[in-house]
Amino acid sequence: MQQLKEMNLHIDDIVVSCGSGVTCAGLAAGFKLANSHIKVHGMIACDSAEYFHSYINKEIFEPLGMPFRYREEV
């Protein structure tokens, strides 16, 4: 976020490949925790969107105590 500010760049969306879900989860959590408006769009390479929403909530966000849900952020 600091680099975007320093470079005077405005980004609304980031699109990434979603194979394991970890990159999407990390970006979504980071942007949310930074109070950013940036939306993450994950293009799934396997499984289904429903699988990733469930998996990331249960295996990543909940154990870390994240107060938001993956579906809301990605």
Helix (H, G, I), strand (E, B) or coil at 54: helix
Q: Residue 39 falls within a domain, yes or no?
A: yes
**Radius of gyration of the chain from its Cα atoms, rounded to whole angstroms:** 13
pTM higher than 0.75, yes or no? no
Inter-CA distances, 3 with 8, 11, 31, 73, Å: 8, 12, 13, 22
Give the integer Cα–Cα distance in Å for 63 and 9. Answer: 33
> For the chain, how many structural domains are there in total?
1
DSSP assignment letter at 16 = E
Q: Residue 32 falls within a domain, yes or no?
A: yes
Q: Residue 74 falls within a domain, yes or no?
A: no
Domain region containing 24: 2-69
Output the tens digit of pLDDT for each of the chain's 74 residues: 899 999 999 999 999 988 888 888 889 889 988 999 999 998 888 778 788 888 888 888 888 888 777 777 77
